[in-house]
Amino acid sequence: MKLEVSIGAQLGDFALDAQFAAEGGVTALFGRSGSGKTSVLNAIAGLLRPSRGRIALDGEPLYDAQARVDLPAHRRRVGYVFQEGRLLPHLSVRQNLLYGRRFAGRSGEGELERLVSLLGLGALLERRPQDLSGGEKQRVAIGRALLAEPRLLLMDEPLAALDAPRKSEILYYVERLRDELGVPIVYVSHALDEVVRLADTLVVMSEGRVLESGAVGETMSRMELRPFLGRFEGGAVIEARVAEHDLEMGLARLEFAGGTLYAPDVDALVGERLRVRIRARDVSLALAPPESISMLNVLAGKVAALGEPSGASVDVQLDVAGTALIARVTRKSAAALRLAPGLPVYALIKSVAIDRHSVGWA
C-alpha cells in the first residue's frame, strides 16, 4: 500500500495544506484538535473535496484536481471508523456489520465469523446499536468498515469518547488488525501514547499544515518538534527487542542498538520487538558512570545538539550508539557540566518511568 496525499483546501477561515506519503502499517496523523487531521481523513474518504492537489492510493488517483478526477466516496473502497461510531440506528449489529457486503459484491458468512471472533462481537449480533456501550459500538464500527473490504482503513480518534479501560480494549483490537489482517490504517489521534503504541509512520499536523512526517522514531526525536508535542510528553522513541524477563523482580531486559534497557511490567514475549517512548524529563545526564545509585539504566553516548533553552530547562539531544535520545536538564546543570556537542555523557533513565503507556509493539 502506498498512500500519497498532497492537498489544499479553504474551509471557511481555515486553510488546509497537507502533504505526506505513507506505506503500509499504521500511519498516525497527530496534532491538537483543530489542526486539520479530520479534514485530511475526510478528503481521503471522499467526504470533503479539496480545492487543489492529489490523493492517490497505490498510484491510482482518488482525487486529482489537474486530471479532474474525483472518485465519489462509495467507489473509493476506503473504510472509515468515525469518532462517534455512526452505526445505523435502525439496523441490528449483524445488519450493520453486513451493510457494506452487498456493495462490495460479496456475501458469505465466513468473513463475518472471522471478524466477529477477532473483535469479540459474538454476543452482540442481534442487539441494536442504542443498546451497546461506547467500546462495543466502536468494535462494531471497526468490523463494519472491514467487512466492506477496504483497501485502506481510516480511524478518526476512535478512542476519544471512551474511558481508560475501554481505550486499552480497543487499542488491543486495533493492534490485532494491524498484525493479523495487515490492513493499512491511517489513525488520527491527539494522544501520544496511542501513537507510540500503534504507529509506524507519524505525520504531525498543526494549523492545517504538516510539520513533520516520517518513521515514528525519527520523527519524534527531531528537536524542533518537541515544543509542539508538549513540555510534559516530549521525548524519543526507541525500538528494542525483549531479551529476557526477570519474573522475580518483574523486570524485562530490552536490547536496542544503543545498549540495554530495563523496564517494568512489559507484557510481551521474549524475542518480540517493542517501541519504547522515553520522555525527555525522565532522562538525567552524568559525565562519569555513577556508582551506588538506584537507576538501572545507564547508557553511554554523546551530546548531539543543544536545544533552545525554555525557562529554567534546556533539551539536550543525545546520540547513544546511533539511537537518538533526549534529556531535559536545567540550564544550571548544563552550564555546570559544560554540555556541548560532542561531549561524552551517560544518560540515566529510571526504569519505573517507563510505564505501560510508554510501550507498544513495533
Partner 1 sequence: MPLTPAELEILGLSFKVALASALASLPLALGLAFLLARFEFPGKMLLDGLVHLPLVLPPVVIGYLLLVALGRNAPLGAFLADHLGVVFAFRWTGAALASALMGLPLAVRAMRQAVESVDRRLEAAAATLGAPPLAVFASVTLPLVMPGVLNGMLLAFARSLGEFGATITFVSNIPGETQTLPLAIYSLTQVPGGDAPAMRLCVLAILLSLAALIVSELLLRRARRRAQGA
Query: Which residues form the interface with partner 1 (CB under 8 A)?
Result: 45-47, 72-80, 82, 84, 86-90, 99-100, 103-104, 129-130, 144-145, 148
Residue with cell 498512500: 3
- Report the nearest approach of partner 1 to the CB of residue 120 (Å): 21
Considering the complex, state which of residue 103 and residue 172 has its C-beta at the smaller distance from partner 1: 103
- Report the nearest approach of partner 1 to the CB of residue 340 (Å): 53
Separation of CA 95 from chain center: 31
Considering the complex, state which of residue 81 and residue 202 has its C-beta at the smaller distance from partner 1: 81
- Report the nearest approach of partner 1 to the CB of residue 222 (Å): 33
From the list 82, 93, 77, 89, the residue with the least C-alpha distance to 140 is 93
- Report the nearest approach of partner 1 to the CB of residue 162 (Å): 15
Considering the complex, state which of residue 77 and residue 222 has its C-beta at the smaller distance from partner 1: 77
Bridge partners for 241 per DSSP: 255, 273
| φ and ψ of 188, to 5 deg | -95, 135
User: CA 143 to CA 137: how far, in whole Å?
Assistant: 10
Considering the complex, state which of residue 78 and residue 296 has its C-beta at the smaller distance from partner 1: 78
- Report the nearest approach of partner 1 to the CB of residue 45 (Å): 5
Considering the complex, state which of residue 11 and residue 306 has its C-beta at the smaller distance from partner 1: 11
- Report the nearest approach of partner 1 to the CB of residue 138 (Å): 13
Considering the complex, state which of residue 32 and residue 75 has its C-beta at the smaller distance from partner 1: 75
Considering the complex, state which of residue 25 and residue 134 has its C-beta at the smaller distance from partner 1: 134
- Report the nearest approach of partner 1 to the CB of residue 9 (Å): 17
| φ and ψ of 254, to 5 deg | -110, 135
